[in-house]
Amino acid sequence: MLILKIRQDKRKPKFAVIQLDNDQNYRIYKFVVKKSGLRKGDELDEKKLYELLYWDEFYRAKDAALKFLSYRQRSEYEIQKKLIDLKFKPDIINQVIDNLKTIKLINDSEFADCFVKTALNKRLISRNLMKKKLLEKRIAKEIINDVLEKYYKDLDESKIVRKLAIKQLKKYQKLKAKSTDKEHYIRLAAFLTRRGFSWDIISRVVRSILNVNSVDEI
């Protein structure tokens, strides 16, 4: 195959269009073309074309991953899933992930630490729910155990539940002034359960706040 022309893509300036004598055109990253050393009039065999297309896809995938990372830090699994959704080939995805790990843009230990710290600053949730969220992002169990120990070691979940319950009860009392203590109890229990706290702690704390010894007294 003979290269008839290499020109810059007018709509996407970072790409070059390679025009071949078999009526085929290929849009390739300009720096990939430049790095290959190809010029107008050169012969382009199948092997060289494969290399061009491979590295073009690699950099397209890497750019997609970098764009995804630009919004916030991501786990390795999140990056992998994003690139799979964008239909990149498995070997390309693996190479991009390896590259990003090498330059430390993917680091699940740092991600987990940042995730837990940020989540706790935004809202208080239980250790169990935090663990579930990290598992959903395919963080390794040993990393999860380390980061949870770091942030939850000195946290008394009873105090967390009490703080959340008091704050939420004030909202319920304001918005639903005519509600009974039993209705407040049910709403608070559901709210705290969604935060992942154990029923034993929830029941004990909510009964304390409502100043009753048992649910039957409500």
Residues 27 and 85 in one domain: yes
Distance CA 56, CA 15 (A): 10
Distance CA 5, CA 20 (A): 7
The pLDDT tens digits for 7-27 are 888 788 888 888 888 778 888
* pLDDT band for position 177 (cuts 50, 70, 90): low
DSSP conformational letter for 79:
H
| pLDDT for the residue numbered 11 | 80
Residues 120 and 85 in one domain: no
The pLDDT tens digits for 97-109 are 999 999 999 999 9
Q: Of all residues in the chain, what percent carry a pLDDT higher than 90? A: 38
Nearest alpha carbon to residue 100 among 138, 118, 139, 74: 74
Residues 11 and 96 in one domain: yes
Distance CA 196, CA 128 (A): 6
Domain count, the chain: 3
Residues 173 and 96 in one domain: no
| pLDDT for the residue numbered 214 | 54
Nearest alpha carbon to residue 113 among 146, 160, 87, 76: 146
Q: What is the mean pLDDT of the chain?
A: 86
178 or 145, which is more confident: 145
* pLDDT band for position 213 (cuts 50, 70, 90): low
Q: What is the CATH number of the domain that holds 198?
A: 1.10.10
80 or 4, which is more confident: 80
| pLDDT for the residue numbered 28 | 86
Q: What domain range is 174 assigned to?
A: 157-217
* Angle between helical axes of 108-122 and 141-152 (0-180°, round to 10): 40
Alpha helices, DSSP H, located in the chain: 30-36, 46-71, 76-85, 90-102, 108-122, 127-136, 141-152, 157-175, 181-194, 199-209
| pLDDT for the residue numbered 183 | 82
Residue 44 contacts by C-beta under 8 Å, 6 or more apart in sequence?
Answer: 1, 2, 3, 18, 20, 38, 52
Residues 31 and 51 in one domain: yes
